[in-house]
Copies of this chain bind each other. A is one copy, B any other.
C-alpha cells in the first residue's frame, strides 16, 4: 500500500492529503472523445454570438481590434447575484445580521467566436481579455461602495456554467469575503515573522526547484502548487510583487495574456478540454497598497467531486502529486 502524505499550503496553512492509493492515471481524467461536443463557430441561439445583440440587456464596454471589429464585450449579468441598488447598511433579524445585496455582476464575452477558447486564441485575442479584466476591475474598484472585486471564469458544466460561449465574469461586493481576509491575515503573519512576502518566497522556491513548473515568461511563473487541493491545479504568479491586480503595467498585462493562454492551452491539450474554474486572487480594496500581499491567478480543474470529508474539514484529498501533474503537463513521460 502506498503511504499518503499531508502537505501544508504555505500561503493559507491549510493541510491537503495526497492519497496515492486513490490515484488515477491522467488519462482517466480525460474526457472521452465522444463526450466532447464540437461547438460551431457561430450559434444562432447563443445570446453572445454576433447578430443577437438585441438579446443583450446592454453593452457596457467593448475592446476593438485595429480594424474596428470587437474582440471582447462587457454586458450585465442577466441573473445578477448582486445589484447596485442594494443597501449595505446592516439590519437585525432577531439574533442575525443581514444587509442588502449591493454589488455589480458583469459578464465579459471574450470573443465573437462561439467556439474559441483562450487556450486556442492568438496573443492579440487573449490580450483583449486581460485588457478587459483590467479595465472593468479598475472601474468597479473605483465605485464608492465596492470593497472587493472578484474576476473569475467558469468553463464547462462541472465548473458551474451551462453557457458555452467563452466568457468570464466580475462580481464586485460591498464586504470583504472571509477567504480573502484569511489569505491576507496569513500573508501578514508570515511577513511579520520573516520580513518577506510568502508568495515571493513560494515563487522563488518553485522556480529554483523547477519540479512543479509548467511554464514561465518574463513576468509570470506558472506552476502546480506544492499543496494543490485538486489534480492539475495551477497558479499563475506575477514575478513583480504587488498586492493589487489592477496595478499591472501594459507589459505585464501582455505577459499575463500569454501565460494564461499557454496554461489553459496546455490543460486543454493534455487533459482533453477539462472543465475548470479560474479566479484572480487579489487584495481587498483598502489593502491595495499593502506591501505584504501579492496577487495571483488560480486555475482549478474540476476532475473530481469534493465530498463530505472536504466539506466538514476543509482539507482536500488529492490523489495525484503536484510533481507528477506538472511533469505530465510539460509533456514528460507517459504515466
Measured CB to CB, the residues of A under 8 A from B are 1, 3-8, 10, 12-15, 17-19, 21-22, 79-83, 85-86, 93-101, 103, 148, 150, 152-154, 157-161, 169, 171, 173, 175, 177-180, 182, 201-202, 205, 209, 226-227, 277-281, 298, 300, 304-309, 311-315, 317
Contacts and interface: CB of A to CB of B under 8 A. Distances in A.
Contact of A150 (B1, B103, B157, B312): B312
Contact of A86 (B4, B152, B179): B4
Contact of A1 (B6, B83, B98): B83
Given A226-B93, A308-B152, A101 B19 contact: yes
Number of copies: 2
Contacts of A22: 79, 81
Contacts of A307: 152, 154, 159-161, 277
A235 to B, nearest CB: 13
Contacts of A81: 4, 17, 19, 21-22, 309, 317
B3 A83 contact: yes
Contact of A8 (B6, B98, B177): B98
A98 B19 contact: no
Contacts of A85: 3
Given A15-B178, A19-B81, A177-B313, 12 more contacts: A4-B81, A6-B98, A6-B175, A17-B101, A81-B317, A150-B313, A152-B309, A154-B308, A160-B307, A279-B312, A281-B312, A298-B311
Contacts of A148: 313
A154 B101 CA distance: 32
A207 to B, nearest CB: 12
A314 B169 CA distance: 16
A22 to B, nearest CB: 5
A178 B98 contact: no
A180 B313 CA distance: 6
Contacts of A1: 80, 83
A101 B279 contact: no
Contacts of A79: 19, 21-22
A6 B101 contact: yes
A171 B309 contact: yes
A234 to B, nearest CB: 13
A98 B7 contact: yes
Contacts of A97: 7-8, 10
A168 to B, nearest CB: 9
A17 B209 contact: no
A312 to B, nearest CB: 4
Contacts of A14: 178
Contacts of A94: 205, 209
A181 to B, nearest CB: 9
Nearest to A225: B96
Contact of A279 (B80, B82, B169, B308): B308
A318 to B, nearest CB: 10
